[in-house]
Structure 1
Amino acid sequence: MNIIITGVSGFIGENLSNYLVGCEYNPSRLSLRSNWKLANTSDAIIHLAGKAHDTENTSSDEEYFEVNTELTKKIFDEFLDSEISDFIYFSSVKATADTVEGILDEDHISNPQTPYGKSKLLAEQYLLSKDLHEGQRLFIIRPCMVHGPGNKGNLNLLYKVVEKGIPWPLAAFENERSFLSIDNLNFLILQILKDKNIQSGIYNFADDESISTNDLIEIIGKASGRKSKLWRLPSGMITAAAKLGDILKLPLNSERLKKLTESYQVSNEKIKNALRIKKLPVSAEEGLFKTIKSFKNT
């Protein structure tokens, strides 16, 4: 099966491409930085390229809409004029909700508040407004936070805290978060490509279990061979320090504090029901342990 992948140089694109090669598929790179054209001989296109959420808030709103919305429209229009069967668009759970009460599923009424989320949602709405040709399928994938060996970000920040023996000062914040290991993401995409009975639609991607940040700190301690230390400092004091970080451009700012301490649980029941499976191959704890181990090895 010939598969076009945009954004293949990113963390997800590189891992997914290598995984599909190992499964005897034939992924090809499509660079969108110059003149491009979809190959009609392809069976599917996986659109990963996009403008990621900038937690430092240095990007202009226009950048998000130019890349995440308008570029996606152009690629999808090309798809509709082609004989390619499947279009898999990587959106985000942030296209529907910045904060979550309870567990997020695909029936949630979307109301993103950031330019990133709004640009992703506008792209989704455009794709869903178009009629597919017979034999074509459209999958809008909304992954939560993706991680795996080689991936940096907030997990790496937490790892450095534990690895240096620094107590975790945010233990007073109780939360539950959903994560998505790259292994489970790869598995789900492969199943969609293989199973032609799966219907078009929006699908959340997440691991089966949610994990609290305090539990995550414990997992990091086990994976790094260091004893984790949890400090329950007053949450009001931490929130004030984060606001000061907004002004002074410190590592701990309000956006990062929110990411580290808020609850954000995502249901993956719809995609599992579509695939007729009960569990994903890798548990949330196993996936996180593997990712953290990779930090130690590098």
Structure 2
Amino acid sequence: MHITITGASGFVGQNLSVYLKHKNHSVYELSLRGNDWQSNLDKNSEAIIHLAGKAHDTENTSEEKAYFEINRDLTIALFQEFLRSEAKDFFYFSSVKAVADTTDDIIDENIKPNPLTPYGQSKFEAEQYLLAQKLPDGKRLFIIRPCMIHGPGNKGNLNLLYKVVEKGIPWPLSKFENQRSFLSIDNLSYLILEMLNKPTIPSGIYNFADDDSLSTNDLIRVINQALEKKAKFLPISKGLLENLAKVGDKIGLPLNSERLKKLTESYVVSNQKIKTALNIKQLPLSAEEGIIKTIKSFKIGS
């Protein structure tokens, strides 16, 4: 199969390209930079996987319009080219942040959207445009909402926890109980290939996540396991840490309210819809196996 991938130079794009090539598919890397990308489209592509986009800026230094120009407007332009092409499948990589920045509920595809950031809003507006278009017979549209993606070569948000464990620092937030979903790059690539190979999968929105969620305390244990260390926990009361975080807001301590929230809140994403559509019971890697593989790559690369 001939497959076009945008954003192929990024972490997901690099890994997905290698995976698909190993499965005997041909991959064409399309750059959307510049104004003449339309002339570089591969006319032989049977599927377009649109990964390119502006990632969430955790430092909040990006201009809002940049998110909408890249995540919404560029997606619309590419989708219009898809409609005019012979390609059968269009994969738009959105995000679970397109519908929920924080939630106490399990996130499935029916959740009422409430994006709070320009990143999430731009992704959601792109989704809305795509879903409103009439698809010609024989074409499919998949809106993929992945949760936090990780794997060898991409430290991401796991890096902070890795550094704590690596230095032998006892985990001070053990009194907080939460659950979070993750997505290994191996499971992501597997799901995309299965969708490409099964023409009966209907168009629609699909969440991507590992089968099981993990608490932050679970993560600390798994990271220690990967590093062959004994997990250390420091049982500091929640109230004391919350008060310390408020002080951190005022005087710039490493621990502030925003960071405490990110480390201790729950964010669980259901992958049941895609597994039902593909008629599979479980993904190739468990959540723990994926985390261990990622952490071991940190150790090798350090």
Shared topology, TM-score over 0.5?
A: yes
Instruction: Tell me the alpha carbon deviations over residues 55-97 of structure 1, each in whole angstroms, 9 at most, x when there is no partner.
Output: 1111121121111111111111111111111000000001011
In 2, the alpha carbon distance for the partners of 1:240 and 1:8 equals 44
Instruction: Tell me the alpha carbon deviations over residues 152-174 of structure 1, each in whole angstroms, 9 at most, x when there is no partner.
Output: 12211101100100111111211
Compared with structure 1, are the counterparts of its residues 255 and 79 closer, same or farther at alpha carbon in structure 2 (3 Å cutoff)?
A: farther
TM alignment of 1:215-234, pairs within 5 A:
215-234=218-237
TM alignment of 1:90-101, pairs within 5 A:
90-101=93-104
Residue of structure 1 in register with 2:121 after alignment = 118
Residue of structure 1 in register with 2:23 after alignment = 23
Instruction: Tell me the alpha carbon deviations over residues 95-136 of structure 1, each in whole angstroms, 9 at most, x when there is no partner.
Output: 011112231110111111111111100000000011111111
Whichever residue aligns with residue 7 of structure 1, its letter is G
In 2, the alpha carbon distance for the partners of 1:65 and 1:248 equals 34
Residue of structure 2 in register with 1:36 after alignment = 37
Whichever residue aligns with residue 110 of structure 1, its letter is P
The answer on whether the counterparts of 2:28 and 2:42 sit within 8 Å (CA) in structure 1 is no
Q: What is the alpha-carbon root mean square deviation over aligned residues? A: 1.5
State the number of aligned residues.
Answer: 298
Question: Percent identity over the alignment?
Answer: 65
The answer on whether the counterparts of 1:69 and 1:119 sit within 8 Å (CA) in structure 2 is yes
Residue of structure 1 in register with 2:291 after alignment = 288
TM-score, scaled relative to structure 2? 0.94
SS in structure 1 of the partner of residue 27 of structure 2: strand
Residue of structure 2 in register with 1:172 after alignment = 175
The answer on whether the counterparts of 1:55 and 1:256 sit within 8 Å (CA) in structure 2 is no
Task: Tell me whether 1:207 sits opposite 2:213 in the alignment.
Answer: no
The answer on whether the counterparts of 1:143 and 1:180 sit within 8 Å (CA) in structure 2 is yes
Runs of 5+ unmatched residues, structure 1: none
Give 1:29 deviation, angstroms. 0.7
TM alignment of 1:263-282, pairs within 5 A:
263-282=266-285
Compared with structure 1, are the counterparts of its residues 246 and 48 closer, same or farther at alpha carbon in structure 2 (3 Å cutoff)?
A: farther
In 1, the alpha carbon distance for the partners of 2:45 and 2:24 equals 15
Residue of structure 2 in register with 1:195 after alignment = 198
Give 1:233 deviation, angstroms. 2.0
Compared with structure 1, are the counterparts of its residues 231 and 127 closer, same or farther at alpha carbon in structure 2 (3 Å cutoff)?
A: same
Give 1:150 deviation, angstroms. 1.2
Compared with structure 1, are the counterparts of its residues 126 and 251 closer, same or farther at alpha carbon in structure 2 (3 Å cutoff)?
A: farther
TM-score, scaled relative to structure 1? 0.96
SS in structure 2 of the partner of residue 4 of structure 1: strand
